[in-house]
Amino acid sequence: MKKDDLTSVKHIGPARLKQLHKNGITTIEQLRKTPVRELARIKSIGGYYAIRIKEALAALDSRQTAAAPEPAVQTTEKTAGLSQDTKKSLKKLTRRLNSAREKLKPLWKKKYLALYIDFKKQSNKAIRRIKKIEKKQGLLTDQEMEKIINRSDALRQRLKTGARKPKKKTFKKLTREIKSFSAKLKAPKA
Protein backbone atom coordinates (compact mmCIF):
# COMPACT_ATOMS: atom_id res chain seq x y z
CA MET A 1 0.00 0.00 0.00
CA LYS A 2 1.25 3.49 -0.84
CA LYS A 3 1.97 6.00 1.88
CA ASP A 4 -0.67 8.40 0.52
CA ASP A 5 -3.29 5.77 -0.28
CA LEU A 6 -6.68 6.88 1.03
CA THR A 7 -7.88 3.29 1.39
CA SER A 8 -5.40 2.85 4.24
CA VAL A 9 -7.75 5.03 6.31
CA LYS A 10 -10.50 3.11 8.06
CA HIS A 11 -14.03 3.54 6.62
CA ILE A 12 -12.72 4.40 3.14
CA GLY A 13 -13.23 1.69 0.59
CA PRO A 14 -13.33 1.75 -3.21
CA ALA A 15 -16.76 3.46 -3.42
CA ARG A 16 -15.90 6.28 -1.00
CA LEU A 17 -12.48 6.61 -2.63
CA LYS A 18 -14.20 7.24 -5.95
CA GLN A 19 -16.47 9.88 -4.37
CA LEU A 20 -13.50 11.57 -2.69
CA HIS A 21 -11.61 11.68 -6.00
CA LYS A 22 -14.65 13.27 -7.68
CA ASN A 23 -14.57 16.00 -5.03
CA GLY A 24 -10.83 16.63 -5.51
CA ILE A 25 -9.50 14.79 -2.45
CA THR A 26 -6.73 12.48 -3.64
CA THR A 27 -4.20 12.36 -0.78
CA ILE A 28 -4.32 11.79 2.96
CA GLU A 29 -2.98 15.31 3.51
CA GLN A 30 -5.87 16.81 1.52
CA LEU A 31 -8.30 14.64 3.50
CA ARG A 32 -6.73 15.86 6.75
CA LYS A 33 -7.23 19.52 5.72
CA THR A 34 -10.85 18.98 4.65
CA PRO A 35 -13.34 20.03 7.36
CA VAL A 36 -15.91 17.57 8.70
CA ARG A 37 -18.85 19.54 7.27
CA GLU A 38 -17.41 19.38 3.78
CA LEU A 39 -16.80 15.64 4.13
CA ALA A 40 -20.38 15.20 5.34
CA ARG A 41 -21.71 16.77 2.12
CA ILE A 42 -20.09 14.08 -0.02
CA LYS A 43 -22.69 11.60 -1.28
CA SER A 44 -21.75 8.27 0.37
CA ILE A 45 -20.09 9.67 3.50
CA GLY A 46 -22.58 11.75 5.50
CA GLY A 47 -22.11 13.19 8.98
CA TYR A 48 -21.62 9.89 10.80
CA TYR A 49 -18.82 8.60 8.58
CA ALA A 50 -17.21 12.03 8.26
CA ILE A 51 -16.60 11.99 12.02
CA ARG A 52 -15.41 8.37 11.92
CA ILE A 53 -12.99 9.09 9.06
CA LYS A 54 -11.50 12.05 10.96
CA GLU A 55 -11.07 9.83 14.05
CA ALA A 56 -9.42 7.18 11.89
CA LEU A 57 -7.04 9.82 10.50
CA ALA A 58 -6.07 10.84 14.04
CA ALA A 59 -5.47 7.19 14.93
CA LEU A 60 -3.41 6.73 11.76
CA ASP A 61 -1.26 9.74 12.70
CA SER A 62 -0.67 8.43 16.20
CA ARG A 63 0.27 5.00 14.83
CA GLN A 64 2.74 6.54 12.40
CA THR A 65 4.42 8.59 15.13
CA ALA A 66 4.51 5.60 17.48
CA ALA A 67 5.97 3.40 14.75
CA ALA A 68 8.96 5.68 14.24
CA PRO A 69 12.05 3.49 13.88
CA GLU A 70 14.07 3.15 17.06
CA PRO A 71 17.77 2.36 17.03
CA ALA A 72 18.39 -1.36 16.85
CA VAL A 73 19.80 -2.89 20.03
CA GLN A 74 21.96 -5.95 19.54
CA THR A 75 22.00 -8.68 22.15
CA THR A 76 24.63 -11.31 22.65
CA GLU A 77 22.14 -14.08 23.37
CA LYS A 78 20.07 -15.08 20.39
CA THR A 79 16.38 -15.24 21.19
CA ALA A 80 13.58 -16.27 18.93
CA GLY A 81 9.81 -16.29 19.13
CA LEU A 82 7.90 -19.50 19.04
CA SER A 83 8.21 -20.96 15.60
CA GLN A 84 5.30 -22.55 13.78
CA ASP A 85 6.75 -26.01 14.48
CA THR A 86 6.90 -25.31 18.20
CA LYS A 87 3.37 -23.93 18.33
CA LYS A 88 2.09 -26.90 16.36
CA SER A 89 3.97 -29.37 18.55
CA LEU A 90 2.69 -27.82 21.78
CA LYS A 91 -0.85 -27.68 20.44
CA LYS A 92 -0.74 -31.37 19.47
CA LEU A 93 0.64 -32.23 22.90
CA THR A 94 -2.18 -30.35 24.63
CA ARG A 95 -4.73 -32.22 22.53
CA ARG A 96 -3.03 -35.53 23.28
CA LEU A 97 -3.01 -34.80 27.03
CA ASN A 98 -6.73 -34.05 26.95
CA SER A 99 -7.57 -37.19 24.97
CA ALA A 100 -5.38 -39.35 27.24
CA ARG A 101 -7.19 -37.95 30.24
CA GLU A 102 -10.52 -38.95 28.69
CA LYS A 103 -9.33 -42.43 27.72
CA LEU A 104 -7.86 -43.15 31.12
CA LYS A 105 -10.92 -42.13 33.12
CA PRO A 106 -11.53 -44.98 35.55
CA LEU A 107 -15.28 -45.09 35.12
CA TRP A 108 -15.83 -48.53 36.58
CA LYS A 109 -12.68 -49.30 38.61
CA LYS A 110 -12.24 -47.46 41.89
CA LYS A 111 -8.76 -48.86 42.44
CA TYR A 112 -7.39 -46.52 39.73
CA LEU A 113 -9.09 -43.40 41.04
CA ALA A 114 -6.14 -42.09 43.09
CA LEU A 115 -3.75 -42.71 40.19
CA TYR A 116 -6.12 -40.98 37.79
CA ILE A 117 -6.41 -37.94 40.06
CA ASP A 118 -2.62 -37.65 40.23
CA PHE A 119 -2.39 -38.08 36.45
CA LYS A 120 -5.05 -35.40 35.94
CA LYS A 121 -3.25 -32.92 38.23
CA GLN A 122 0.04 -33.41 36.42
CA SER A 123 -1.53 -33.09 32.97
CA ASN A 124 -3.32 -29.89 34.01
CA LYS A 125 -0.04 -28.49 35.32
CA ALA A 126 1.68 -29.36 32.04
CA ILE A 127 -1.07 -27.67 30.03
CA ARG A 128 -0.80 -24.51 32.15
CA ARG A 129 2.95 -24.41 31.63
CA ILE A 130 2.55 -24.94 27.89
CA LYS A 131 0.28 -21.89 27.79
CA LYS A 132 2.85 -19.86 29.74
CA ILE A 133 5.57 -20.90 27.29
CA GLU A 134 3.38 -19.78 24.39
CA LYS A 135 3.01 -16.36 26.04
CA LYS A 136 6.78 -15.95 26.56
CA GLN A 137 7.34 -15.79 22.77
CA GLY A 138 10.79 -14.17 22.37
CA LEU A 139 12.34 -15.03 25.72
CA LEU A 140 13.60 -18.51 24.87
CA THR A 141 16.82 -19.41 23.11
CA ASP A 142 16.91 -21.75 20.13
CA GLN A 143 18.48 -24.47 22.27
CA GLU A 144 15.70 -24.28 24.85
CA MET A 145 13.08 -24.37 22.10
CA GLU A 146 14.72 -27.45 20.56
CA LYS A 147 14.65 -29.22 23.94
CA ILE A 148 10.99 -28.36 24.43
CA ILE A 149 10.09 -29.65 20.97
CA ASN A 150 11.98 -32.91 21.49
CA ARG A 151 10.46 -33.49 24.92
CA SER A 152 6.94 -32.69 23.72
CA ASP A 153 7.28 -35.05 20.75
CA ALA A 154 8.50 -37.85 23.02
CA LEU A 155 5.71 -37.26 25.53
CA ARG A 156 3.10 -37.07 22.78
CA GLN A 157 4.26 -40.43 21.41
CA ARG A 158 4.20 -41.94 24.90
CA LEU A 159 0.64 -40.67 25.42
CA LYS A 160 -0.41 -42.09 22.08
CA THR A 161 0.84 -45.59 22.88
CA GLY A 162 0.34 -45.62 26.65
CA ALA A 163 -3.17 -44.26 26.97
CA ARG A 164 -4.91 -47.32 25.60
CA LYS A 165 -5.84 -49.22 28.75
CA PRO A 166 -6.02 -47.93 32.30
CA LYS A 167 -3.45 -49.96 34.23
CA LYS A 168 -1.52 -49.03 37.35
CA LYS A 169 1.77 -49.24 35.48
CA THR A 170 0.45 -47.04 32.67
CA PHE A 171 -0.77 -44.35 35.05
CA LYS A 172 2.52 -44.23 36.91
CA LYS A 173 4.63 -44.14 33.75
CA LEU A 174 2.56 -41.41 32.11
CA THR A 175 2.42 -39.33 35.28
CA ARG A 176 6.20 -39.57 35.62
CA GLU A 177 6.70 -38.50 31.98
CA ILE A 178 4.32 -35.56 32.31
CA LYS A 179 5.95 -34.45 35.56
CA SER A 180 9.36 -34.55 33.91
CA PHE A 181 8.12 -32.60 30.89
CA SER A 182 6.43 -29.89 32.94
CA ALA A 183 9.60 -29.54 35.04
CA LYS A 184 11.53 -28.86 31.82
CA LEU A 185 8.97 -26.22 30.85
CA LYS A 186 9.38 -24.46 34.17
CA ALA A 187 13.17 -24.15 33.78
CA PRO A 188 13.35 -21.15 31.36
CA LYS A 189 12.40 -18.07 33.40
CA ALA A 190 11.62 -14.59 32.23
Condensed to tens digits (0 to 9), the pLDDT of residues 102-118 reads 776 765 566 777 777 77
| Residue predicted with more confidence, 67 or 140 | 140
Q: Number of structural domains, the chain? A: 2
Q: For the ranges 75-84, 95-104, 132-141, which has the lowest average pLDDT?
A: 75-84
Check residue 60 and give its pLDDT: 78
Q: Are residues 90 and 161 in the same domain?
A: yes
HEC-encoded secondary structure of the chain: CCCCCHHHCCCCCHHHHHHHHHCCCCCHHHHHHCCHHHHHHCCCCHHHHHHHHHHHHHHHHHHHHHCCCCCCCCCCCCEECCCHHHHHHHHHHHHHHHHHHHHCCCCCCHHHHHHHHHHHHHHHHHHHHHHHHHHHHHHEEHHHHHHHHHHHHHHHHHHHHHCCCCCHHHHHHHHHHHHHHHHHHHCCCC
Q: Are residues 24 and 107 in the same domain?
A: no
Q: Are residues 85 and 123 in the same domain?
A: yes
Contact yes or no for 144/188 (Cβ under 8 A): yes
Domain boundary among 23, 39, 66: 66
φ, ψ (nearest 5 deg) of residue 125: -65, -40
Global pTM reads 0.41
| pLDDT at residue 56 greater than cutoff 80 | yes
Q: Which range scores top for mean pLDDT: 18-27, 70-79, 132-141?
A: 18-27
Mean pLDDT rounded to a whole number for the chain = 74
Q: Are residues 173 and 97 in the same domain?
A: yes
104 part of a folded domain? yes
Read off the pLDDT band of 186 (50, 70, 90): low
Domain boundary among 45, 66, 87: 66
17 part of a folded domain? yes
Domain boundary among 40, 66, 92: 66
Q: Are residues 91 and 42 in the same domain?
A: no
126 part of a folded domain? yes
52 part of a folded domain? yes
Q: Are residues 177 and 99 in the same domain?
A: yes
72 part of a folded domain? no
Q: Are residues 179 and 129 in the same domain?
A: yes
178 part of a folded domain? yes
For residue 137, is it left (φ>0), alpha (ψ between -120 and 50) or beta?
left
Mean of pLDDT values over 93-104:
76
| pLDDT at residue 125 greater than cutoff 70 | yes
What residue numbers bound the domain in which 95 lies? 79-186
pLDDT digits (tens, 9 = 90+) for 24-53: 888 888 888 888 888 888 888 888 888 888
Q: Are residues 87 and 62 in the same domain?
A: no
Q: Are residues 91 and 168 in the same domain?
A: yes
Q: For the ranges 69-73, 96-100, 124-128, 134-138, which has the lowest average pLDDT?
A: 69-73
| Residue predicted with more confidence, 96 or 66 | 96
Read off the pLDDT band of 75 (50, 70, 90): very low
| pLDDT at residue 150 greater than cutoff 70 | yes
Q: Are residues 105 and 27 in the same domain?
A: no
